[in-house]
Amino acid sequence: MNAADAPDRFSWLWVAFFLLIPAGFPLYSRFVLSDLPAMIIVAGLLLRLIFVSPPKFSIIDAWFLFFVGTSALGREVATVPGAYFFELLAVVFLFACFRAVAEILSSENALSRAFTLVGNSLIFILALNFLAVIVQRTGISPEFASVFFPGNAEKLCWPFQFSGQLGLSLTILFPVCIGSRSFTLPVRLLLYIMFLVNTGATGSRSVFWIALFEIFYAEFFMHKTLSVQKNFMKGLALCCSTGLTLLFFADDFSFQRSMGQIDASPLFFDEPRWNQIRLALRSLPVWLQGLGLGCCDFVFKTEIHNTPLSLIVETGLFGFGAACLFLFEILKAFYQANLQQHHLLKKALAMSLLTICFHAFFRNLVSNRACWLILAFCFSCKNFATRAESRGDRPLEVSR
Amino acid sequence: MSQKQGSGFFEVLQTAKKYPLLVLIALVLCIFLEFWFYNYPPRGVVTEDTLILGSVLGSPLVKFDALWTRIINDDGLMLQLVDESGLATKPDPRARLALASSVRKNLRYTVVNETVIKISLVRPGYDGRGVLNRFSSFVLTRLKELGDENLASQRELVKFKLHTVVERAWVIAAIFRLPGFQELLADKNAFARLYSQSLSAVDNPTIWNKLGWLWLNDQLAIFYAAQNLYRQHFADDLRLLSLFPRSPCLISSPDAPSVPVQPFHQLIFLLMPCAVGLMYFALLIALRQRDAVVVKQ
């Protein structure tokens, strides 16, 4: 699809998809609400590929197909075929969504509109969760707070099943939210406070630290000013608001855990994580073949919370290589793109990619929807003019 | 067509003509992997034997875990096993020891119930039957030796117990002057008969006789228990012996085939060509993209 063919507005299905992506709303098993419009979109895409225009395979499809191929060679696939096919179906479905998103975002304006929809949805979640945390702290309405802290849990998880999923979604999509438009400084400060409160209440240390980093990145790189005085004042305001937020929630369990003050030392030095890494390293003899996509849970009775390691263990070195090449193609498309009209978008996507890279070492992101959405946003940049094309060079043409 | 748009399915297939070696490699790889996984299924092949331990009506005569620990850690025996079964192809002692160690690691037993044990051996290929047959036969021999020894000593003990009970009755009958008993006690083993006839045997019992009878009555319960124990150890006409034989035996067939560990191992034969086909197609797409760039340059 060319930029000229880009729709002025998204259809209601796409609007629903972009609005629901930041929200989890678990339906059944691992299905979430945003999967419903996504399924219709994918079905439409398939029908179009079958009856209207046959599929065109690009290099990104090549590496994905290679990845799927290697995943089928896993040693444990025939032991737990159910787990394998379920995970494979999930990954193929997410890839189909990825392709559909990358195709629909055929212009910078379309990308900007998608940013706005996702950003608005995230602001709504941030605001509602912020309110819930305040209500829980003050004890005004325990019934209202219990919706957001289900099962008397001390961790905020609405609208997801687990607090970790909420933390991931918030930190990966927050740059999209902050880059969706030029907010004024007071609005940004309010957003930062809400964001900090949300991430702190999830009780995840990695999420909280990355949230702090994102806030400073957003303020000093995305919304940078040249004036030293203004920068100083901004820094002061940020530090004060962060400090006040932390002080307000100082005695809260989740916040203390987020700061890494309770029991265990923060981040990497976490015994369960070390155990997972030890288990993964013990499977070194099968790294060439891999265990099979989604088979780690069966073999180790636990998930490996480290995406690269999980990929190596599950799909072997060849699968990991294919995944790396897949990501490389996306990064190449993103790097070469020249977003002339919306400079904030590229910075926001860069921040989201950094966040994904960071989280990849502490979580398994293979089937994370927010992660795939950001990758799709980045890959959609291939539809825009590259930097070379912007300079006036002719695009490469493939001879038949 | 721009590079960004990609290539159609048939365009990609046309690229295959340019790279005949690749299709050959893919075919060879596919066939090789199919044969490889046919001979060496993922997670290996399991061979199983089921043993019944020798027991006295359900009480095993040998502690199997102790025997297992003794046997499994015996390097000499393991070496003998791999040699006799033809697993060891190299004369190198280190290689033979490594093989023995691998066999030892993959030999396991599962307790089905107190007398039924399953012994399994997991091997990469279908060569485990010979080793397991030899191993099971050795275990059976040891079980029989130890079991027989234990049974003999238990039988002695049971005999002694019964004898003691009967003698005690004889003494009681003598003390309390039970005349009927005196006659019958010529045969010490006829204690039960003696008891049933006791009342008729004593026509006009005195208080002294009655006291003796009361005491003997007490002894009767002990006698029956001892006699029951005796039958459990000696009788060969008990139907329960089919469930709990006194000698250990192998109830699985020594010719039972080895089966792959994975329950859905056939799936691999379907997935293998799909995987190789997908990887081949992926490489074709990549090569087509590369060719397109090279041609333009």
- Say what the ipTM of the complex is: 0.88
Q: Give the model confidence (pLDDT) of B193-251 as tens digits.
A: 666 655 555 566 778 877 887 887 788 788 889 989 999 999 988 899 989 999 999 99
Closest approach of A316 to chain B, Cα-based (Å): 13
Q: Give the span between the Cα atoms of B78 and B99, in whole angstroms.
A: 9
Report chain A's mean pLDDT, rounded to a whole number: 86
Chain B residue with the nearest C-alpha to that of A2: B5
Q: Does this model's pTM top 0.90?
A: no
Chain A residue with the nearest C-alpha to that of B290: A59
Q: Give the range among A28-42, A97-111, B89-103 with minimum mean pLDDT.
A: B89-103
Q: Give the model confidence (pLDDT) of B34-74 as tens digits.
A: 999 999 999 899 999 999 999 998 899 999 999 999 999 99
Task: Identify all chain B residues contacting A330, using CB atoms and an 8 Å cutoff.
Answer: none
Chain A residue with the nearest C-alpha to that of B33: A73
Q: Which residue from A227, A139, A122, A127 is spatially nearest to A178, judged by alpha carbons?
A: A122
Closest approach of B248 to chain A, Cα-based (Å): 34
Mean pLDDT over residues B93-119, rounded? 92
- Whether the CB-CB separation of A274 and A304 falls below 8 Å is answered with no
Q: Give the model confidence (pLDDT) of A295-315 as tens digits.
A: 998 888 888 999 999 999 999
Task: Identify all chain B residues contacting A69, using CB atoms and an 8 Å cutoff.
Answer: 274-279, 282
Residue B186 scores a pLDDT above 80: no
Q: Give the model confidence (pLDDT) of A238-289 as tens digits.
A: 888 888 888 877 777 767 766 766 655 554 566 778 888 888 888 888 899 9
Element housing A28 (H / E): strand A26-28
Q: Give the span between the Cα atoms of B291 and B297, in whole angstroms.
A: 10
The residues of B whose Cβ lies within 8 A of any Cβ of A are 1-9, 11-12, 33, 41-43, 261-268, 271-272, 274-279, 281-283, 285-286, 289, 292-293, 295-296
- Look at the block and give the residue holding tokens 């000698």: B247
Identity of the residue in B2, B6, B267 whose CB atom sits nearest the CB atom of A81:
B267
Share of chain A above pLDDT 90, in %: 50
Task: Identify all chain B residues contacting A62, using CB atoms and an 8 Å cutoff.
Answer: 282-283, 285-286, 289
Query: B197 versus B175: which is more confidently predicted?
Result: B175
B57-60 contacts at long range (C-beta below 8 A, 24 or more positions apart): B57/B232, B57/B238, B57/B240, B57/B244, B58/B114, B58/B115, B58/B243, B58/B244, B59/B114, B60/B114, B60/B115
> What pLDDT, on a 0 to 100 scale, did the predictor assign at position A277?
86
Identity of the residue in A66, A73, A397 whose CB atom sits nearest the CB atom of B2:
A397
> What pLDDT, on a 0 to 100 scale, did the predictor assign at position A3?
45
Q: Would you call B278 and A322 a contact, using CB atoms and an 8 Å cutoff? A: no
Task: Identify all chain A residues contacting B15, using CB atoms and an 8 Å cutoff.
Answer: none
Q: Would you call A397 and B285 a contact, using CB atoms and an 8 Å cutoff? A: no
**CA neighbours closer than 13 Å in the CB half-sphere of residue B14:** 9
Q: Give the span between the Cα atoms of B75 and B84, in whole angstroms.
A: 14
Overall size of chain B counted in residues: 297
Alpha-carbon distance values, B132 to A37, B46, B99, B119 (Å)? 57, 10, 14, 8
Q: Would you call B262 and A79 a contact, using CB atoms and an 8 Å cutoff? A: yes
Task: Identify all chain B residues contacting A92, using CB atoms and an 8 Å cutoff.
Answer: none
The residues of A whose Cβ lies within 8 A of any Cβ of B are 54-59, 61-66, 68-73, 75-79, 81, 322, 382-383, 395-400
Identity of the residue in A62, A322, A396 whose CB atom sits nearest the CB atom of B285:
A62
Radius of gyration from C-alpha coordinates of chain A: 22
